[in-house]
């Protein structure tokens, strides 16, 4: 890297809920911005650039940044809006990182949001993400996508429905300790296995919920970051991996681009043993069952063996593999904002500020990701020290 080294100096998120009738979208964003500013002990006057983004198909706007800007006090500031469907939040963070690292700004604010209570049941023909003329005519949705992936995963790995339920229970146990998480259900394996079946083997509890929520981060170049906070979270590297294909080109129907993206970023950062070198994981899993494959793709274990870790009870906040300590996306999913929540949670873990769901011990490095479409990913590596 030839640009400035950068750090996250403040993070904020709203308490995620299924419905927010007390605020409109812009006011909800303002809550996250207030939280991030308070966290960084900055005021809005310090911010000189703002990057926004949401999953527009669920927003009812074409360019919602325009009406959100005044509500978050950013009139007169530089910035623009980003969008890449499911990975939008990831791209928002990546853009913020680029703007700060470019040396153009001192304090860059990244804000993402989604108010799914406005969009629930809003999609008609054409669907949410099904956009190209042809893809709209195929029977597809995230549920069918993950049903297919999980079905293929089960036949290849030998994992059973019970293991899938264990994954969901672990996520719920984590979410119960996260005050910002939306779903805290007190699940048991039995409860999950008896839940409504959407498309075998995907049950309703396996899919991510619809959430109204917003998250914000503040990024500064090195010099400024050291002035602003005693606990900067350094952004080591990031990589956007989009493949622009409705129907995946991969031979393996369970695969996403995550493995490729991780290999690339690990090589750049000298990571040879991810299990040892990365202490916290916040990986975007739109369905709980995806967590198994993603664990393999990020390099925690061999292909098709992640379910064994659950069987052996090795996954959890205080356990060997601290995967998605926040409860993950199946607990909280304000779509366009979800990747920012991953980065926020990863940063909190690095700082040791995750309170109830803090992973014990020192977190030197954390990995956060964004997922979208049929296998698009953005990967971030955060570090405690330079």
- The SS3 assignment for 89 reads helix
Q: Which is nearer to another protein, 169 or 208 (CB)?
A: 208
Q: Which of residues 291-320 bind another protein (CB under 8 A)?
A: none
Beta carbons of 20 and 117 less than 8 angstroms apart:
yes
Q: Which of residues 355-384 bind another protein (CB under 8 A)?
A: 372-373, 376
Q: Token pair for residue 238?
A: 């990031």
How far apart are the C-alpha atoms of 376 and 241, rounded to whole Å?
6
* x/- map, 53-72, another protein, by CB under 8 A: x-xxx--xxxxxxxx-xxxx
Size of the site for another protein (CB under 8 A): 117
Q: Which of residues 195-254 bind another protein (CB under 8 A)?
A: 196-200, 204, 207, 210, 238-247, 249, 253
Is residue 186 within the footprint of another protein (CB under 8 A)? no
Q: How far is the CB of 106 from another protein (least distance, A)?
A: 13
As beta bridge partners, residue 131 has: none
Q: Which of residues 244-263 bind another protein (CB under 8 A)?
A: 244-247, 249, 253, 257, 260
CB neighbour class for 79 (10 Å; exposed up to 12, middle 13-18, buried from 19): buried
Is residue 286 within the footprint of another protein (CB under 8 A)? no
Is residue 74 within the footprint of another protein (CB under 8 A)? yes
Contact residue for another protein among 8, 12, 13, 20 (CB under 8 A): 20
Contacts of residue 31, Cβ cutoff 8 Å, sequence gap at least 6: 12, 14, 23, 214
Is residue 264 within the footprint of another protein (CB under 8 A)? yes
How far apart are the C-alpha atoms of 149 and 167, rounded to whole Å?
16
Element (H, E) at 378: strand 376-383
User: In this chain, which stretch among 26-34, 280-288, 298-306, 349-357 interacts with another protein, using CB under 8 A?
Assistant: 26-34
How far apart are the C-alpha atoms of 260 and 134, rounded to whole Å?
28
User: In this chain, which stretch among 8-16, 126-134, 309-317, 325-333 interacts with another protein, using CB under 8 A?
Assistant: 126-134
């Amino acid at each position: 890297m030839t640009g400035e080294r950068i750090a996250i100096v403040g993070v904020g998120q709203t308490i995620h809920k299924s419905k927010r009738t007390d605020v409109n979208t812009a006011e909800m964003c303002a809550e996250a911005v207030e939280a991030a500013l308070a966290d960084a002990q900055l005021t809005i006057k310090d911010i000189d650039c703002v990057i926004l983004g949401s999953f527009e198909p669920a927003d009812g706007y074409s360019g919602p940044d325009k009406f959100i800007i005044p509500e978050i006090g950013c009139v007169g500031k530089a910035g623009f809006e980003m969008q890449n469907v499911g990975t939008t939040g990831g791209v928002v963070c990546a853009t913020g990182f680029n703007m700060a690292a470019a040396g153009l700004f001192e304090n860059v604010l990244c804000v993402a949001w989604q108010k799914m209570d406005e969009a629930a049941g809003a999609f008609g023909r054409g669907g949410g993400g099904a956009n190209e003329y042809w893809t709209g005519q195929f029977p597809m949705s995230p549920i069918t996508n993950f049903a297919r992936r999980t079905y293929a995963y089960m036949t290849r790995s030998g994992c059973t429905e019970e293991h899938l339920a264990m994954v969901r229970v672990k996520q719920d146990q984590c979410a119960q300790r996260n005050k910002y998480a939306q779903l805290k259900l007190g699940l048991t394996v039995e409860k999950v296995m008896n839940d409504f079946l959407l498309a075998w083997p995907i049950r309703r509890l396996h899919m991510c919920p619809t959430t109204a929520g917003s998250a914000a981060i503040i990024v500064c170049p090195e010099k400024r970051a050291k002035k602003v906070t005693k606990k900067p979270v350094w952004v080591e590297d990031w990589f956007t991996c989009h493949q622009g294909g409705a129907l995946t080109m991969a031979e393996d129907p369970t695969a996403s681009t995550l493995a490729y993206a991780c290999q690339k970023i690990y090589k750049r950062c000298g990571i040879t043993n991810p299990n040892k070198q990365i202490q916290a994981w916040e990986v975007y899993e739109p369905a709980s069952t995806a967590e198994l494959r993603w664990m393999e793709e990020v390099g925690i274990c061999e292909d098709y063996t992640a379910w064994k870790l659950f069987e052996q009870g090795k996954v959890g906040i205080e356990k060997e593999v601290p995967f998605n300590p926040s409860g993950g996306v199946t607990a909280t999913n304000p779509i366009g904002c979800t990747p920012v929540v991953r980065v926020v949670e990863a940063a909190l873990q690095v700082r040791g500020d995750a309170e109830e769901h803090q992973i014990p011990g020192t977190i030197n490095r954390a990995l956060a990701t964004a997922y979208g479409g049929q296998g698009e990913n953005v990967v971030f590596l955060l570090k405690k020290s330079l």
